[in-house]
Amino acid sequence: MSVSETLPNAAGRMPATTPATTTSGELRAPLYVAWQVTNECNLACLHCIEESGPGKAFPDELSREQVFEVLRQIVENDVPYLSFSGGEPMVHPYFFEMVEYVCSQGAQLKIETNGHYLTPGNCARLKDLGVKAVQVSLDGASPETFNRMRVRGNFNLTVEGIRNLQDAAVPIEINYSPTSFNAHEIGIAVDLAARLGAHSFYTGRTMYTGNAVKTWGKLTPSEEQYERVFATLHQKAAEYDGQMRVHFHEMGLLDELRYRLHHPAALLIVLPNGLVKLINALPFVCGDLRKQSLGEIWGNFQRAWQDPRVSDFVDALARDPGTTSMLHKWVYL
């Protein structure tokens, strides 16, 4: 999360940051829109940071007309990068139409999926449309761990989906959530991701929010397990240097939120009903795309980070980490 590199230029230095560390106040629009296009999901994962699952679509999810109005504004504001997640984004009724629109307008798009709909045909279509990457959640290196964690999920189908991406030459990213019963497989999972042709492997501490609140007692890794996970990841990052990027956050949620109070991310989180959150790990909503323009919400976003209720919430989190279980009770700023 720190400044990692610099490039010289004609009048000084050109630092490299990430959307999360770019000083958003200086920018005329977000650099990244992370859109949870639906809360509906074919799986009911124990660790889901949303409250997603079968039959869990919000009753007020955006209509087709509203979806394309939001996309039009994103393009008009020259937002260079979007992701579609969920729920499971590939069950959204207009999924491919949305992908086609974004890619045809020159923005780069990442799909975050559980991989169960990555048929050869769908992968070929994603390749033709020009998605930047497909990130697949692979929380385990065996059917035993994966299927236990991803209720209704199928490890073999997910791996087959990743192979289909590989065959279609779609850039692949893997996401892995450590829990008490899959933490020991992290190294094998990194190796598997590399064999499947992934260019990036993402992981970090599993969050106490969404569906995970109900299962936390059985789910959460011990600190000793996390220590072993991160030690393995350091080793794997060195092993795959130049082949696959092994990217992980050792920082706990509280440290990250404290950092972001002073360095708001250059990204907007859009919920399936068009509400816009400050950040996934806070309950605060700074706009509603059904009623406000993206430009107006971007202005609200800058101001909302300064609202004392935001820092108060982070302080409350320091006193009681269980406060994250309230993240889905939205607070309008």
Partner 1 sequence: MQLAKYVKFREEQFGGVLFQTQTEKVYTLNPTAAAVIREIRSGADAAQIAARLKGKFHDPTGTIEGDILALIHDLQQKGLIGDPQG
Q: Which of residues 143-182 bind partner 1 (CB under 8 A)?
A: 171
- Using CB under 8 A as the binding rule, whether residue 325 contacts partner 1 is answered as no
Contact segment (CB under 8 A) with partner 1 among 14-22, 88-96, 207-215, 217-225 equals 14-22
User: What is the DSSP track for 219-246?
Assistant: HPPPHHHHHHHHHHHHHHHHHTTTT-EE
Site for partner 1 in 209-248 (CB under 8 A): 245
- Residue 16 binds to partner 1 (criterion: CB under 8 A): yes
Q: Quote the tokens at residue 191.
A: 């190796």
| 25/321 with CB nearer partner 1 | 25
Tell me which stretch binds partner 1 (CB under 8 A): 6-14, 144-152, 229-237, 300-308.
Answer: 6-14
| Token representation of residue 122 | 């769908």
* Beta strands at 245-249 and 32-36: parallel, antiparallel or unpaired: unpaired
Binds partner 1 (CB under 8 A): choice among 199, 249, 258, 328? 199
Q: Least distance from C-beta 295 to partner 1, angstroms?
A: 14
Contact status, residue 267 vs residue 298, Cβ threshold 8 Å: no
- Only one residue has tokens 């959307």, namely 19
User: Distance between CA atoms of 91 and 234, rounded to whole angstroms?
Assistant: 36
**259, 23 Cβ separation under 8 angstroms:** no
Residue 84 touches partner 1, criterion: CB under 8 A: no
With contacts defined by CB under 8 A, name the span among 9-17, 44-52, 157-165, 175-183 that binds partner 1.
9-17
Instruction: Compute the least distance from the CB of residue 134 to partner 1, in Å.
Output: 13
78 vs 315, beta carbon nearer partner 1:
78
Q: Residue 109 Cβ, how far from partner 1 at the closest point, in Å?
A: 9
Q: Using alpha carbons, list the distances in angstroms from residue 269 to 46, 217, 331.
A: 22, 28, 14
9 beta partners: 12
Residue 16 C-beta: closest distance to partner 1, Å = 5
Name every residue whose Cβ is closer than 8 Å to that of residue 275 and which is 6 or more positions away in sequence. Answer: 285, 287, 288, 289, 330
- Look up residue 113 and give its amino acid: T
Q: How many residues bind partner 1 (CB under 8 A)?
A: 35
Give the rounded distance of the alpha carbon of 45 from its chain centre: 15
Beta bridge partners of 81: 32, 108
Does 197 bind partner 1 (CB under 8 A)? Our answer is no
Rounded to a whole number of angstroms, the minimum distance from the CB of residue 179 to partner 1 is 25
Of 90, 194, 266, 289, which one interacts with partner 1 (CB under 8 A)? 266
- Of 61-69, 103-111, 138-146, 217-225, which part binds partner 1 (CB under 8 A)? 103-111
- CA 132-88-300 angle, 5° bins: 75
Rounded CA-CA distance 198/195 in Å is 8
Q: Is 5 in the site for partner 1 (CB under 8 A)?
A: yes
Binding interface with partner 1 (CB under 8 A): 4-5, 7-12, 14-19, 21-22, 26-29, 31-32, 78, 80-81, 107-108, 110, 132-133, 171, 199-200, 245, 266
